Amino acid sequence: MAERTRSTKPAKAGAEKTPSVLLFIETSREFGRGLLYGIARYSRLHGPWRVYRRSAGLDSSLPEWRDLKIDGAIVRDVNMASNLAGSGLPLIFAQHNQESYAPFPAIITDSAAIGAMAAEHFLDRGFEHFAYCGLDEFVWSRLRAHHFGQRLEQAGLRADVYRQPKARAKRAWKSEQNLIADWLRSLPKPVALLCCNDDRALQVIEACKLAELYVPDQVAVLGVDNDVLICDLADPPISSIALNTEMAGHDAARLLDQLIHGEEMAGQEIRVRPTHIVTRMSTDMLAVNDPEVAAAVRFIRRNPSRMMQVNDVVDATNVSRRVLEKRFKAILRRSVYQEIRRIRVNYIIELLVGTDMSITEIAVKSGFDGVEHISRYFRKETGISLREYRKRRGSK
């Protein structure tokens, strides 16, 4: 590693030098914006920093940085100037093209957790057919496909993976949308389809229209990043896996501060983890042929804050408790009681990581009679406390 060309020691005795930091992270997508929010929060609390940043997309080139006299940088590895990596400056990569950046520290998405969460989302809805559509050139996309398929294999199932054409000309959307439409037509229906990100999910929905396939009735589509602008403006709106990018940005800024003040770059990793799934219309269905089981599940999901018992669910159907339990376990591989608790916990998690509500407010909204009650309930189901879960996942 090249030696630093300037010192990061205080310029004057008793006066700490204000660090100058280069941020080259896209603002065109939710992932990059989330990282920047977290970096800004750290700078406000522990700075100030002198920040050099330019609004950019992933296809942009790194700006000229030599005259900025920077002390460190957090950058995407897109068209990056090779001499920045060889400058000896403290440098953190935000993953895009590689799996490892050692010896440089990196912000890495937790593909195993993302793939597993997506598989669970679809398995919970009773799907038997699965597919994945990604971007083959990016390692993070390939890893999401791998871990999605791995979790399905554990359940004795498999996913059909779309393979992009090798010729770049055929990857242009005008050409590729026809290929994806043909692939979608070939899949058994109904199919649960994970896309590598929300941009790709939007393209799949467009291809479904071209193929005259209905979303979610025939193809349930799930994205990643929860980019609200993309998801809410899609037709139908796209369900998506939310990530704790803001917490990762905050942790990356803290690490960069430590690097600037002398800590060695040793391949440290900051994990971007999924927090929860924001369910919208694109996956809002049950792939369950049994009308009584479907009615029971709909009743549970429409009343997540209700302190219901199994008999309440039975009353929403036209069969006995014994018959419902037998069908429920055969189709969804869990009991009615387990489904009630699972849905309630997921509802609590959405409030924990998707809002800034206090624990007391969450308890009231979730139908509990106090913080102690909801705390016992949540710990029994998840193994950790409400506050610890919120801390790990990075709430708003």
Residue 153 lies in a domain: yes
pLDDT digits (tens, 9 = 90+) for 209-237: 999 999 998 999 999 999 999 999 999 99
Nearest residue to 62 via CA among 39, 42, 85, 43: 85
Residue 232 lies in a domain: yes
Residue 384 lies in a domain: yes
Q: Mark whether 237 and 115 lie in a shared domain.
A: yes
Q: Mark whether 131 and 209 lie in a shared domain.
A: yes
Q: Mark whether 116 and 133 lie in a shared domain.
A: yes
Q: Mark whether 48 and 133 lie in a shared domain.
A: no
Which pLDDT band holds residue 12 (cuts at 50, 70, 90)?
very low
Q: Residues of the chain with pLDDT > 90: what percent?
A: 63
Residue 251's φ and ψ, nearest 5 degrees, are -65, -35
Q: Please give the residue range of the domain that contains residue 127.
A: 111-244+277-283
* Domain CATH for 337: 1.10.10.60
Q: Mark whether 312 and 380 lie in a shared domain.
A: yes
Kindly report the pTM of this predicted structure. Answer: 0.80
Q: Mark whether 217 and 125 lie in a shared domain.
A: yes
Q: What is the mean pLDDT of the chain?
A: 87
Residue 7 lies in a domain: no
**Average of per-residue pLDDT across 37-59:** 81
Residue 8 lies in a domain: no
Residue 72's φ and ψ, nearest 5 degrees, are 180, 170
Q: Mark whether 80 and 29 lie in a shared domain.
A: yes
Quick check: 150 pLDDT over 90?
A: yes
Quick check: 1 pLDDT over 60?
A: no
Radius of gyration of the chain (CA): 24
Nearest residue to 214 via CA among 183, 235, 186: 235
Distance separating the N- and C-terminal Cα atoms of the chain: 38
Quick check: 5 pLDDT over 70?
A: no
pLDDT digits (tens, 9 = 90+) for 199-210: 999 999 999 999
Q: Mark whether 115 and 240 lie in a shared domain.
A: yes
Q: Mark whether 153 and 228 lie in a shared domain.
A: yes
Q: Residues of the chain with pLDDT > 70: what percent?
A: 89
Nearest residue to 225 via CA among 239, 209, 215: 239
Distance, in Å, from the CA atom of 282 to the CA atom of 296, rounded to the nearest integer, reads 21
Residue 191 lies in a domain: yes
Range with lowest mean pLDDT among 19-23, 77-81, 248-252, 335-339: 77-81
Residue 93 lies in a domain: yes
Residue 1 lies in a domain: no
Q: Mark whether 198 and 177 lie in a shared domain.
A: yes
Give me the number of domains the chain comprises: 3
Q: Mark whether 238 and 223 lie in a shared domain.
A: yes
Q: Mark whether 264 and 218 lie in a shared domain.
A: no
Neighbours of 72 (CB within 10 A): 22
| Per-residue pLDDT, 79 | 57
Residue type, 284: D
* Domain CATH for 56: 3.40.50.2300
Q: Check residue 1 and report its DSSP letter.
A: -
